[in-house]
Amino acid sequence: MKKLLTLSTALTAVAFTAQADVTVMSWGGAYTTSQVEAYHKPFTAATGINVVSVDSDNPAPAVKAMVEAGNVTVDVADVEYADAIRLCDDGMLEEIDASTLPAAPDGTPAVDDFLPGALTDCAVSTIVFSTVYAYDTTKFPEGPSTIADFFDLEKFPGKRGMRKGAKANLEMALMGAGVPAAEVYEVLGTPEGVDKAFAELDKIKADTIWWEAGAQPPQLLADGEVAMTTAYNGRIFAAAVAEGKPFQTVWDGQVYEYDLFVVPKGAPNLEQAMEFVKFSTSTQALADQAKWISYGPARKSSGPLVGLYQDGKTEMAPYMPTAEANLGNALASSYEFWVDHDAELNERFNAWLASN
């Protein structure tokens, strides 16, 4: 970050401040690349403000630590829904006035143009992403097709990859055990349901490699370390379409949710941060991101503008979590559930992971 110097006039100070960098913390890999191309570069071209990217395995804990320490070094962060709610409730985020967000091209106010639940007091959604699982087609030419297959080592032998944490794993485990998507949170809200989820995870625990960063699952598949792995759908798309890897996504049992931009309390460049959020959540910017990765835009007006991948030939619509064909047994992640149960379930998950 550039440090402001003592300047002779207020006018000069304002001009200098306008050129301060905006630091954006996100998840790295193909996802950050999509943000750089759709948001960062166009924002800099339009405003002259440079955007600095910082990668994190999960930006939310980093934001919490910075605010608690009184040493905030990022201006904008990309976080998951439950984390956005929790951080806001704890007073760690700046409020974002939804009425200041850009309207749709036809004049529809942003509050009516964003998908249901996509705007909160302190956060603005950018994408709908999904946790799915994918496999190496060279290992399984016929392929698994259901979430139950992921937990079936006899029918589909080989190492598994899963994110190191409770969220999404427990939901997918219950669906793998036969719980319909519509009943997952009702079941997971009971001690018996939690036991059932961990019993399903027990089936593959000894054969699982635990990943922490979104870029890891496609690499685990590419290196042959796992035969199938849970992953963010856009990361598998990028590896399969952009890099030609023999990976296939299984949509059955997907868990989808929003990712959102937040501004940490005490952001060093607050004014620029808010301008970046407004610019990046416009109709065109959200549609442009979908040219780079298969995450659905969080605005209704962006949908019709999504066409081909940046290769100029791949239709993006079939690769979106929200495509009708991909929603057969899909689960919308419940931020209410995870705001209430995150601490206890992750404590149990970590104890389970450490046990023999």
199: closest CA among 185, 220, 178, 219? 178
CA distance 225 to 214: 16
Residue 212 sits at the vertex; the CA angle it makes with 211 and 217, to the nearest 5 degrees, is 45
**pLDDT value of residue 16:** 37
Identify whether the C-beta of residue 29 lies closer than 8 Å to the C-beta of residue 58. Answer: no
CA distance 294 to 241: 10
pLDDT along the chain (356 residues), means of 10: 35 46 95 97 97 96 98 97 96 97 97 94 96 96 96 97 97 98 97 98 98 95 97 96 95 96 98 98 96 93 89 91 89 93 96 92
CA distance 232 to 209: 16
**pLDDT value of residue 310:** 87
The CATH code for residues 10-128+259-305 is: 3.40.190.10
Q: Domain 131-256+317-354 adopts which CATH fold?
A: D-Maltodextrin-Binding Protein; domain 2 (3.40.190)
Task: Report residue 125: phi and psi, to 5°.
Answer: -70, 145
**pLDDT value of residue 19:** 63
**pLDDT value of residue 8:** 33
* Amino acid of residue 201: L
Start-end of CATH 3.40.190.10 domains in the chain:
10-128+259-305, 131-256+317-354
* Amino acid of residue 56: S
**pLDDT value of residue 9:** 34
CA distance 148 to 179: 10
SS3 144: coil
